[in-house]
Amino acid sequence: MNQKNNSDQLLGDCHAAVMKEMDRLMGIYDPQIVASTMLAIALRLYKTVLTPEDFRLFMETVEQTSNNISEFRGPTIN
């Protein structure tokens, strides 16, 4: 397996694991609590692994592309 395929596989595996855990948590907590907690943790992780300039650019990109974020399809709790 080449490096790109391995990277794609790891990303897919991680995505599936996080989605499974998110679904489990939404069975216990309000989806907004789960979302805000996951976002706060993700931002702290980005701030840890990115340079200050890269983090600033990342946050600008998030703000500029926020209209492109799609909603989850399927049942909702609230």
Beta-carbon contacts of residue 22 (< 8 Å; ≥ 6 apart): 34, 38
**pLDDT tens by residue, 63-75:** 999 999 898 876 5
pLDDT at 24 over 80: yes
Helix residue ranges, H only, the chain: 3-26, 31-49, 52-64
What pTM, to 2 d.p., does this model score?
0.76
